[in-house]
């Protein structure tokens, strides 16, 4: 098999465009989403990709689905695991105005699930040539870049996701795995909103460039879509 990438949250936004981008370069793409039966745009990309894109059901908050997918793909080395699935969290998340359950749910998707994916797929990644695990982080999760406050659920979940990746970079180094967080830019999606300067396509083109050039010396850092190292 040629180069392989597994992408979560692949049915829309940045994830969908990453599928299109990697498939365009001839990669075998394992495109994961919660409800394949309603993933029309992703199905269209898969049909036009000549069998290189396969669609897999995966709610990243369901450990049993993660386990089953890892078992289904157990014989396949995964060059790049992309933890892209994410949520912006509850509508209200400013000082003194945040629902605890919704905050915990945000953590489950944005922070805990990338860790569980890494645990489930580490051996398959270690058996590949590139050996890369990335989580789409966010500049909003950077402690140093935070000058505006607010957005407690999203900011804290991404800051913690960054720390997960820093930890994985240390813990998985003996397996030769590169682990990073990657800020995709401010992108016009449901999470980024209509004012964002980058289209999902533009972001995916840049992310693909960064993702395919990462090596072990780049591990344990927060990268931007332009290939710059951002402050934690």
Ligand X SMILES: NC(=O)c1ccc[n+]([C@@H]2O[C@H](COP(=O)([O-])OP(=O)(O)OC[C@H]3O[C@@H](n4cnc5c(N)ncnc54)[C@H](OP(=O)(O)O)[C@@H]3O)[C@@H](O)[C@H]2O)c1
Tell me the C-alpha distance between 149 and 153, whole Å: 11
Per CB under 6 A, 192 contacts ligand X: yes
Pick from 5, 7, 13, 66 the residue near ligand X by CB under 6 A.
Answer: 13
Q: Which is nearer to ligand X, 176 or 197 (CB)?
A: 197
Per CB under 6 A, 201 contacts ligand X: no
Q: Which is nearer to ligand X, 4 or 8 (CB)?
A: 8
Tell me the C-alpha distance between 181 and 230, whole Å: 10
CB distance 84 to 181 below 8 Å: no
Contacts of 50 (CB under 8 A, 6+ apart): none
CB 180, min distance to ligand X, A:
14
CB 176, min distance to ligand X, A:
26
Q: Which is nearer to ligand X, 12 or 201 (CB)?
A: 12
Per CB under 6 A, 190 contacts ligand X: yes
CB 215, min distance to ligand X, A:
23
Question: How would you label 126-142 residue by residue, b for 16+ Cβ within 10 Å and e otherwise?
Answer: bebebbbbbbbbbbbbb
The interface region with ligand X, picked from 73-81, 145-153, 169-177, 183-191 by CB under 6 A, is 183-191
Per CB under 6 A, 168 contacts ligand X: no
Closest CA to 31 of 42, 47, 44: 42
Restricted to residues 123-152, the positions that interact with ligand X (CB under 6 A) are 136, 138
Tell me the C-alpha distance between 202 and 181, whole Å: 19
The interface region with ligand X, picked from 45-53, 66-74, 82-90, 209-217 by CB under 6 A, is 82-90
CB 195, min distance to ligand X, A:
10
Strand partners, 97: 94
Conformational region of residue 214, where left means phi above 0, alpha means psi within -120 to 50, and beta covers everything else: beta
Q: Which is nearer to ligand X, 9 or 220 (CB)?
A: 9
Report the number of secondary-structure helices (H) and strands (E) in the chain: 7, 10
CB 62, min distance to ligand X, A:
8
CB distance 128 to 216 below 8 Å: no
CB distance 162 to 222 below 8 Å: yes
* SS3 state of residue 7: strand
> Residues 83-122: x/- map of binding to ligand X (CB under 6 A)?
-xxxx---------------------x-------------
* Residues making contact with ligand X (CB under 6 A): 8-9, 11-15, 33-34, 58-61, 84-87, 109, 136, 138, 183-184, 186-187, 189-192, 196
């Amino acid at each position: 098999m040629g180069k392989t990438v597994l992408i979560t949250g692949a049915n829309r936004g940045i994830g969908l465009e990453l599928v299109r981008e990697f498939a365009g370069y001839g990669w075998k793409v394992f495109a994961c989403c919660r409800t394949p039966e309603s993933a029309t745009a992703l199905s269209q990309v898969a049909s036009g990709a000549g069998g290189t894109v396969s669609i897999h059901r995966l709610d990243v908050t369901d450990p049993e689905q993660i386990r089953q997918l890892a078992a289904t793909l157990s014989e396949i080395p995964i060059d790049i695991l992309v933890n892209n699935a994410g949520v912006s969290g509850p509508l209200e998340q400013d000082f003194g105005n945040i629902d605890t359950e919704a905050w915990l749910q945000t953590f489950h998707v944005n922070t805990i699930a990338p860790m569980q994916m890494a645990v489930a797929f580490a051996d398959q990644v270690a058996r590949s040539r590139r050996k890369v695990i990335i989580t789409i982080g966010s500049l909003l999760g950077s402690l140093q870049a935070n000058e505006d406050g607010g957005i407690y659920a999203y900011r804290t979940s991404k800051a913690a996701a960054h720390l997960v990746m820093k930890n994985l970079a240390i813990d998985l180094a003996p397996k030769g795995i590169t682990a990073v967080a990657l800020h995709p830019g401010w992108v016009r999606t449901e999470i980024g909103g209509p004012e964002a300067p980058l289209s999902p396509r533009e972001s995916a083109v840049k992310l693909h460039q960064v993702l395919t050039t990462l090596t072990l010396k780049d591990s344990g850092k927060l990268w931007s879509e332009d290939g710059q190292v951002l402050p934690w």
